A and B are shown apart, each in its own frame.
Chain A
Amino acid sequence: MVWSTLARHLLTKPSPPREAGHSTAAALAERLQNLSNEKLGRSLAIRHVDSGSCNGCELELRAIQNMVYDLTQYGLTFTPSPRHADILLITGVAARNMGEALRQARAAMPDPIFTIAVGDCAVDGGVFKGSPAITGGADSILAVDLMISGCPPTPGQIIDGLLSLLEAHAGKK
């Protein structure tokens, strides 16, 4: 049973869910084709830190790794270790209780890095703006290179933002 089910799935290519922004994903893939690897020079590793989210943003960050959005096709991967990371991706408000951990994660990453704030909370505190339990958005703790707003941003918007960073980076060379 296992093998027949497995075999069936290995032989049939999964069709993307119809409403899953397939066209967005395709358009993004095309843009990245143009941005060839030689321009990029390397693939980039992302270290994600949740500094006080409601966990909504994490759901969409995980979604960009599913087979519909397939983040790795753009040369982007998540890494557990800050030592291997080129991008520090922050979700959630800058909760007072996470400030020190966020600073330490940054310090553990080798320069140069890009810092990205994903989601309204990380951008400026979102709906939690002004709460005494937070210091604000990610930029209240460290310098942020790119902000991707949305509550939560859709997988398409997150990938779009990541690609714009890659493009800007490639343009700098």
Chain B
Amino acid sequence: MSPPHLSAHAWQNHTGAFIALWTSGELAYALFDAGLITTSLEDGTYPALSPKHPGAAWFEKLSLDLNGHKASGVSHSNTAIEHFLSPNGTAPWPEFRPAPGEGVHQMAVGPIHAGIIEPGHFRFSIIGEKVLKLEARLGYTHKGTLALMRGKSPRNAARFAARISGDATVAHSLAFAHATEAALGLTLPPRAVQLRAVMAELERMANHTSDIGAIAGDAGFAFLDARFAWHRESLCAAANAAFGHRLMMDMVIPGGVAGDIKTGGDDAIRRSLDALETERPGLTRVFEDYASLQDRLVGTGHIGIHLAARYAAGGVTGRASGRQTDARTSPGYAPYELMELTVPVETEGDVAARVKIRLAELAESCRIIRTLLNHLPDGQIAIAPPATSGMALGVAESFRGPVWHWLNIESGLITDVFVADASTLLWPLVEHAACTSIIADFPLINKSVNASYSGVDL
């Protein structure tokens, strides 16, 4: 079933929560919470959506960089991932306009950062230590991933999907597999569905534990950092014992999973869950009771409910700002309809709220993994995707929010693909949140949202 085709006028006036935009062939596609719409490209242009939906700005720049398709009605002052735009092949800096005001100065950070993290450039306008404006320049890790996926079979392209953002490798592989399976009309064996969910929840827990620890660490509280890092290690080790890879990379493939759970893997997972469940209440109380830690987290990096809604923020960041959204339940995918998933929501929208959401989700993921392992059905773990044709969207809820994959497959080969990581809509929120605090709090804010660089640079 092809998505509704709109006139330029109807396209431009479409309402709803904007999720993603891309171009392919003769069409521009826009994904809203209510579904996908398309409009025709006229001389390679389509009407801009960013004046109404600010989250569309990055996607418009990306479509220009990737496909040369321009959004009419706006002029963006910089590019997304193409840094070498000048005719002489150099990569000039875009113009960063400082915030207006007397005594305001700019501070440039990156692309190489102090810690062991991905590259990106941040340009702050600051007065004293107060941040007035932040502009992020991304695209540094652009690897040309989408182009590499074209012309390949879904099974062969899966390894690129798995490397769009390594920390969410299971979620991206899952969204890619969902898109393939929807496009080709595949029904999965139940065992594969459950094993996938075990991996996805393990991945969520491994990331949540390290994020919670790192936030405490950035606030100078090494004890919590050390303990949560230990739990992350224990979860990665369990993933390795169960599925043969610490990050479970390349384990979720179109049509199922690449390997069954190994002997002893079930026990290894349960032991790591037990260890975390035993310690979690105590660690949570330390988080909540320690005044100097709370002082750094409460009110810091505030993202208001209205702002979060404007960017249709998903994941931990959305849920910490009052948005009851989770791709596992809406639009939803198997096996979560059987899991009675509780989606935690907070309304404060600060770093502390984002930590709270993560702590609550750890408990929920533990419960889900145990339920899945207790009732693992027998049977096949994968079926081969046929060499047929189709076009479809797939989604999975990564630890940071929903990731969307769109695929067009013809006779078993991918002719076009687009990927929208949750981070695309989270980066603008980081830019906003930075302006609610002082420059020294920026690492905390950035970590609490934990948007992916590679996930948007593609």
Residues of A within 8 A of B (CB): 1-2, 5-6, 8-9, 14, 17-21, 48-63, 65-68, 78, 80, 92-93, 95-98, 100-101, 105, 127-128, 130-134, 151-152, 154
Question: How far apart sit A80 and B115, CA to CA, in the bound complex (Å)?
Answer: 6
Q: How far is the CA of A92 from the CA of B271 in the complex (A)?
A: 33
Known contacts: A95-B143, A133-B143. The answer to whether A55 contacts B286 by CB under 8 A is no
Chain A CB within 8 A of B272 CB: yes
With both chains docked as a complex, state the minimum distance between the C-beta of A102 and any C-beta of chain B, in angstroms. Answer: 8
CB distance from A18 to the nearest CB of B (A): 7
The answer to whether A59 and B247 have CB atoms under 8 Å apart is yes
Is B249 in contact with chain A by the CB < 8 A criterion?
Answer: yes
B282 touches A54 (CB 8 A): no
Question: A132's contact among B114, B144, B226, by CB below 8 Å, is which?
Answer: B144
- Determine the main DSSP class of B at the interface with A: helix
CB distance from B458 to the nearest CB of A (A): 9
Closest to A79 in B: B114
Contacting pair A52 B141 (CB below 8 A): yes
**Per-residue interface assignment for chain B, residues 226 to 248, with 1 indicating a CB less than 8 Å from any chain A CB and 0 otherwise:** 11011011101110110000110
| The one of B111, B165, B249, B283 that contacts A5, using a Cβ cutoff of 8 Å | B283
Question: A52 — which chain B residues lie within 8 A by C-beta?
Answer: 119, 140-143
Which of B127-135, B156-164, B407-415 lines the interface with chain A?
B156-164
Residue contact A57 to B144, C-beta cutoff 8 Å: no
A68 cross-chain contacts in B, Cβ below 8 A: 230, 233
Chain A minimum-CB-distance residue to B143: A128
CB distance from A91 to the nearest CB of B (A): 9
Q: A14-B230, A62-B116 are in contact. Are A97 and B453 (CB under 8 A)?
A: no
A53/B166 in contact, CB under 8 A? yes
Could you say which residues of chain A place their CB within 8 Å of the CB of B169?
54, 56
Contact yes or no, A131 B148, CB < 8 A: yes
B: which residues have CB within 8 A of A? 81, 83-84, 91, 111-112, 114-119, 139-145, 147-148, 159-160, 163-167, 169, 210, 223, 226-227, 229-230, 232-234, 236-238, 240-241, 246-247, 249, 268, 271-272, 275, 282-283, 285-286, 289-290, 452-454
Given A18-B237, A52-B141, A5 and B118 contact (CB-CB distance below 8 Å): no
Chain B residues near A1 (CB, 8 Å)?
285-286, 289
CB distance from B266 to the nearest CB of A (A): 13
Separation of A14 and B236 alpha carbons in the complex (Å): 17
Q: Please, which residue of chain A has its CB at the minimum distance from the CB of B264?
A: A19
CB–CB B143/A66 < 8 A: no
Partner of A57, one of B84, B166, B233: B166
Chain B residues in 8 Å Cβ range of A20: 233-234, 236-237
A19 and B271 CA atoms in complex are apart in Å by: 10
Number of A-B contacts (CB under 8 A): 168
CA–CA, A8 and B283, complex, Å: 11
Q: How far apart sit A128 and B454, CA to CA, in the bound complex (Å)?
A: 13
**Which one of B141, B223, B233 contacts A92 once the chains associate, using CB atoms below 8 Å?**
B141
- In the bound complex, do residue B234 and residue A152 qualify as a contact, i.e. CB atoms below 8 Å apart? no
Q: Which of B143, B160, B233 contacts A63 (CB under 8 A)?
A: B233
Chain A residues whose CB sits within 8 angstroms of the CB of B290 once the complex forms: 2
Given A52-B143, A132-B144, 8 other A-B contacts at CB below 8 A?
A: A1-B286, A14-B227, A18-B268, A20-B234, A56-B247, A65-B229, A97-B142, A127-B148
Q: Tell whether, in the assembled complex, residue A17 and residue B234 are in contact, meaning their CB atoms are under 8 Å apart.
A: yes
In the complex, 23 of the A-B residue pairs with CB atoms within 8 angstroms, ordered by the A residue number, are A1-B285, A18-B234, A19-B237, A19-B241, A20-B234, A21-B237, A52-B140, A52-B142, A53-B141, A54-B169, A57-B166, A58-B118, A59-B166, A66-B226, A80-B114, A95-B140, A98-B111, A100-B91, A105-B112, A132-B144, A132-B147, A133-B144, A154-B246
Given contacts A17-B233, A19-B237, A67-B226, contact A55 B119 (CB under 8 A): no
Which residues does chain A contribute within 8 Å of B166, judged by CB atoms? 53-59, 152
**In the complex, which residue of chain B has the Cβ closest to the Cβ of A66?**
B229
Partner of B452, one of A9, A55, A57: A55
Q: Are A5 and B285 in contact (CB under 8 A)?
A: yes
In the complex, what distance in Å separates the CA atom of A95 from the CA atom of B412? 30
Shortest 7 CB-CB contacts between residues of A and residues of B: A56-B166, A133-B144, A17-B234, A19-B237, A80-B114, A131-B144, A54-B166
